[in-house]
Amino acid sequence: MAIIGPGGRPVTSGNGKEPAAAASAYIKDSSLATFAADVLEASREAPVIVDFWAPWCGPCKQLGPVLEKVVNEARGSVRLVKINIDENQEIARQLRIQSIPTVYAFRNGQPVDGFMGAIPESQVRAFVQHLTGGAAGHDHAEDVLAAADEAFAAGDMATAAQAYAHVLQDEPGHPKAVAGLARCYLKSGDTERAKQTLQLVRPDGAGDEAIRAVEAELKLREQAAGVADRMSELLAVLQAEPDNHQARYDLALALDAKGDREAAIDTLLEIVRRDRKWNDEAARKHLVTLFEAMGPTDSRTISGRRKLSNILFA
């Protein structure tokens, strides 16, 4: 066990650095600025283990990987937060950390258990089992997927992709995780990686709604290739030829490629209104692909389907 002297510096020390927290949806590094959110608030949803370590601490390098392994295997029933005391001496002072490694466990915003020193893996497992009431190892894939979806919606592609990948590590081929990771690649513009990712889905998940949605999105990207830069040209053509359905169809593709999906839907609906049979019902079929890509609960899908029905059955 390494002893901390005055000012937070080691009395005895090793060399090298402990590896950064492993890429995991359940493990993160924290600091004074984020401690309240990462530990106190997070512990109201699941127990949070806090590992106080330092780069110069040899025992920390023994304990850290063991903690990460056991926490990852717990699949969300417990979280791990790592605090480098060299960079966060105020936290160490407030919590009266006298030696490292020191591990505290928090639940509902309060410390409830802990230990000091690099204990064996068997003891770490017992510690986690006691903390979780035996729930460690329970499948929390849905919780991780929900967190990944939240991160995706917030535009945090790195966190989302990491969480989707973690589910796939535990459950290879999980359709919603495959679809989520593929969507992350699509969002970054890497359609090839998105296609490759879709191939990872297990056989029984190929028809999953989330997989179909990404496949539809890929189809839309491919169809829109080459028209995104023709917006002005297509608008000019339609100004002169309002019944040029091909130009209007291409305009819908261009609008969608530019991110204006609602305008693309309205443009396709206008084709259906003017000539629903045009080009073997190409506009209606493309609308169906758009609805599938967005999913049945998307407000644009609901509105678009209602407008399409009003036109078709008026």
Cβ pair 26, 80 in contact under 8 A: yes
Instruction: Choose the catalytic residue: 25, 50, 60, 71.
Output: 60
- Residue 184 appears among annotated catalytic residues: no
Tokens representing residue 195 in the block: 């296609």
- DSSP-assigned beta bridge partners for residue 84: 53
| Cβ–Cβ under 8 Å, residues 185 and 159 | no
What is the C-alpha to C-alpha distance for residues 198 and 214, in angstroms, rounded to an integer? 8
Q: Which residues contact 304 (CB under 8 A, 6 or more apart)?
A: 265, 269, 287, 290, 291
**Which residue, among 181, 40, 200, has the nearest Cα to 105 in the 3D structure?**
40
Cα(117)–Cα(131) distance, integer angstroms:
18
Catalytic residue among 25, 42, 57, 160: 57
Q: Is 57 annotated in the active site?
A: yes
DSSP, collapsed to helix, strand or coil, labels residue 191 as: helix
Both structure tokens of 60: 């920390």
What is the maximum alpha-carbon separation in the chain?
A: 84
Tell me the Cα Rg of the chain. Answer: 27
**H helix intervals, the chain:** 35, 58-73, 89-94, 121-132, 141-153, 157-170, 175-187, 191-198, 209-224, 231-240, 245-257, 261-275, 278-294, 299-312
Report cis status (omega within 30 of 0) of the bond before 203: no
Q: Which residues are catalytic?
A: 57, 60
